Amino acid sequence: MKWGMGVLLLCMMSACGREPRPAVNPQNETEMEKRRIGNQVALYPMPVTVVGAQVEGRTNWLMVAHVGIIGHDRLLVSMSRSHYTNRGIRAQGRLSVNLVSREMLPTADYVGRVSGAEVDKSHAFEYHWGADGSPVIDGSPLAMECRVEDIYETPGFDNFVCSVVNTYADPAVLDSAGRLDYTRLKPVLFEFPTYSYLATGEVLGRCQRLDREPGMCAKEPMAADGFVRLSKIEVYPEYREAYLTRAVEVGETSLRTEPGVLTMYALAEKENPCRITILETYASRAAYDRHIASEHFRRYKQETLHMVKSLVLADQVPLNADNQIRNFMR
């Protein structure tokens, strides 16, 4: 009896000396498929900007891609402390943040790889002075004059916390209500892992309204049996308007709801608007089979069969397989 009690006490003491094992979540018993790749800051891509400032009496430009938002009224502009531009920002307490368009990109890249301490970059861009005294690039589709409210230092970096004083937009990037339209603005993006510039993509949908205003569904990659087709259609003149209405409808529905439909682009001949050509791209033969079996396509065929005078389906061979076609829709 004494021996048994001693063993029990020893086991209890041994258990108390160990940390408790975490409860096993039955959903996490298998090994996670994701690979651990270190502690990378991986919130890329980010918009490319050119920061403008007065440095020692001279305008200077620097390409900066580490720009973020704090709350709804602050920007964070993170810049290596070694940059010449930082001196002017610290001294003046102001700067401009200019979004980069595709046309600006070569010059933006240049001002990002040469130092203002060695090269006069003041004439790299045509610019005007903003109302708050910061240089604003004429060719930038969107520019913000900023005041430095605080500087948060991290090893090797000055992180400027800024308020936005003035925002300047090219009329071409505003919609009819005067709001910024990023499908027109199309800022250049930067991603750090491969040091590449990217273009902005299509609109996927409206935030918190996807149930009412569906966007484009995620698309499948082009498979080995994917193909491009030109559907050449001639409709009877008296049915032209009715046919176009149904063709536009089925094309938009297919693009928004079918992952394997990559392109559905309808065109009418200028000289003979009854002749219509539809550029179609399918990710695979199976995607095409799903498309022609879909309810919206079958309804389109039934409703337009009597409208069509002739139909020719001409499959195409891309001359450059790397040149992929994708529809973009607002």
Write a three-state SS string for 158-220.
Answer: EEEEEEEEEEEECHHHECCCCCECHHHHCCCEEECCCCEEECCCCCCCCCCCCCCCCCCCCCC
> Which pLDDT score is estimated for 10?
43
CATH number of 46-198: 2.30.110.10
Residue 94, both tokens? 């102001």
Which pLDDT value is given to residue 61? 98
pLDDT at 195: 92
The structural architecture, per CATH, of the domain 227-316 is 2-Layer Sandwich (3.30)
Residue with tokens 């936005």: 164
Contact 186, 102 (CB under 8 A): yes
Q: Cβ–Cβ contacts within 10 Å for residue 36, how many?
A: 6
Write out the residue limits of the CATH 3.30.70.100 domain(s) in the chain.
Answer: 227-316
Instruction: Provide the pLDDT for residue 103.
Output: 95
Q: At what angle do helices 295-304 and 240-257 cross, to 10 degrees?
A: 170
How confident is the model at residue 20, as a pLDDT?
56
pLDDT of residue 247: 95
Provide the sign of the torsion angle of the four alpha carbons 204, 205, 206, 207, taken in this order: negative
- In angstroms, the first-to-last Cα distance of the chain is 82
HSE at residue 149, side-chain half, CA atoms within 13 A, is 12
Q: Are 169 and 180 in contact (CB under 8 A)?
A: yes
| pLDDT for position 238 | 97
Mark the ranges of the chain whose per-residue pLDDT is less than 50.
1-16
What's the pLDDT score for residue 201? 74
pLDDT at 206: 78
* pTM value surpassing 0.85: no
CA distance 120 to 31: 56
CB distance 317 to 290 below 8 Å: no
